[in-house]
Amino acid sequence: MFTLPRRRVTRLVVPLIAASVLAACGGEAPAPSGGASASAPAENITLTVALFSDFHFAPLYEAFKKIHPNVTITERRSQFNDHHNNLVTQLATGAGAADVVAVEGGFITTFQQVPDKFHNLADYGLSSRQSEYLDWKWQLGLSADGKTLLGLGTDVGGLAMCYRPDLFKKAGLPGDRESVSALWPTWDAYVETGKKFVAADVKGAAFTDGPGEHFRAMVEQAPVGFYDTSNNLVVATNPDVKKAFDMGVSMIQNKLSGKLTAFTPEWTTGIAKGTFATMVCPAWKTGVIKDQKPGEGTWDIASVPGGGGNQGGTHLMAPKQGKHPKEAAELINFLTSKESQLTLWKDASALPSLPSLYEDPAVSTFVNPYFGDAPIGKIFTDAAKALKPQHTGPKSGDVLLAMGNGLSRVELQNQAPEEAWAQAVSDAEKIK
């Protein structure tokens, strides 16, 4: 069962806060870093923000409205894949797009191809923000020809593995994060650990949620993913993609999978009730876990097999259908400011896109008591610093979905693994 992940997520109706203190305590709103003017027009306007999960923006909206009292902000959320597919349709038909839209990293290359459908944020002064960003994150916000600033990044994924110490102990496995990390330096070792968990027959719990997120993590750790740097689709010839698919099949065949699709109600219930023991865990997903209220210390965080990586991360963009581009740009600037990204890190574990914050003790030394005092600041900033960005082609999100559907067919016993692989490759090659 498969869904594309990102950023932070219930991927709700479907995988980030400057003065959240301000919203709680009535302080002054922080000025956004650089870019668009904070001056507000006289007319009362409404901005609609379209997201694929709860980004924990609500306190930021209130802070923004304190300096833009004429602006009302409404938010709508859709399931992750639906959100992105709906945006494609809205841009094609010229109707229905929000003033500000979130686009996850797996889909952003789709929209880089149609810069004429978005307001150029450089026209509103936001190109001044470039020096603040990780270079690869900034580049993702540009059109394919590099001439249009389509969006500003909210966060990056920074990979780890979340696990349930209580379930590990029931299976006779170690529970502390250092020992757990040592269990799986590689994905093969992760599968072998899963086999031991299954053999222990822990009542009511699978070793992991499902193979889709693991497949994505493994592909995105490779030097080359679905496309080469010339945007040629290489799914059929890239051994790392086949290796990741085979790893997913092995998880299914060895009964490691709980057959859950990420961000469905069954999956979020499983987080709270402990129906699976591990899941691939970019930084933003720790916020998802906390939102399900499983209990402090119920989950902990270990290293991800294969050594680091990134999964997800979002950009905020302004479709041209929006009638208030200046205010939309100001809101994007505010939500992605240094102050806002720092607060979203504290409140939702959304790892900032701004590397200067990695040296801020509020990030680098942050210990999260909800995850057994895990040093998540060090875990995720180390992963972000070590990341070697992979080139993503024009339809990476759609290709990822096609491959994930292949694994789903294996899990549902609708196809043999080699048939599922062949169809997934064929489906990917038909994507235009």
Q: Residue 407: what pLDDT?
A: 97
**Do 189 and 288 belong together in one domain?**
yes
pLDDT bracket for residue 188 (50, 70, 90): very high
Q: Percent of the chain scored above 90 by pLDDT? A: 80
What are the tokens at 127? Answer: 């190109």
Total domain count, the chain: 2
- Mean pLDDT over 30-38 rounds to 46
d(CA 124, CA 104): 23
Residue 352 belongs to domain spanning:
34-157+313-361
Assess whether 146 and 129 both reside in one domain. yes
Residue 83 counted as domain residue: yes
Per-residue DSSP letter, 242: H
pLDDT of residue 26: 33
Per-residue pLDDT tens digits for 46-71: 999 999 999 999 999 999 999 999 99
State pTM to two decimals. Answer: 0.82
Residues 135-149: tens digit of each pLDDT:
999 999 999 999 999
For residues 260 and 165, state if they share a domain: yes
Whether residue 263 is contained in a domain is answered as yes
Q: Please report where in the chains the tokens 């097999």 appear, as a residue.
A: 305
Q: Is the same domain home to 350 and 290?
A: no
Residues 322 and 295 in one domain: no
In a domain, 370, yes or no: no
Residues 108, 180, single domain; the answer is no
Considering the domain architecture, whether residues 405 and 274 belong to the same structural domain is answered as yes
Select from 321, 335, 319 the least CA-distant residue to 65.
Answer: 335
Q: Based on the fold, state whether residues 337 and 204 are members of the same structural domain.
A: no
State whether 355 and 407 are in the same domain: no
Angle, in degrees to the nearest 10, between helices 265-273 and 283-291: 80
Binned at pLDDT 50, 70 and 90, residue 42 comes out as: low
| Domain co-membership, 43 together with 69 | yes
pLDDT higher than 70, residue 30: no
Say if 67 falls within a structural domain.
Answer: yes
User: How far does Cα 257 stand from its chain's mean position?
Assistant: 21
Least confident of 267-281, 380-394, 395-409: 380-394
Per the domain annotation, does 423 fall within a domain?
Answer: yes
* 399 falls within a domain: yes
Q: For residue 129, how many other CB atoms are within 10 A of its CB?
A: 26
Residue 29 lies in a domain: no
Residues 327 and 180 in one domain: no
CATH number of the domain encompassing residue 67 = 3.40.190.10
pLDDT digits (tens, 9 = 90+) for 364-389: 999 999 999 999 999 898 887 777 78
295 and 389 together in one domain: yes
Cα–Cα distance between 146 and 169 in angstroms, integer? 51
CA distance 312 to 351: 11
Q: Helix (H, G, I), strand (E, B), or coil: what is residue 28?
A: coil
Residue 41: is its pLDDT beyond 60?
no
Give helix then strand counts, H and E, for the chain.
18, 11
Average pLDDT, integer, range 288-315: 92
98 within a domain of the structure (yes/no): yes
Last residue within a domain, chosen from 361, 394, 421? 361
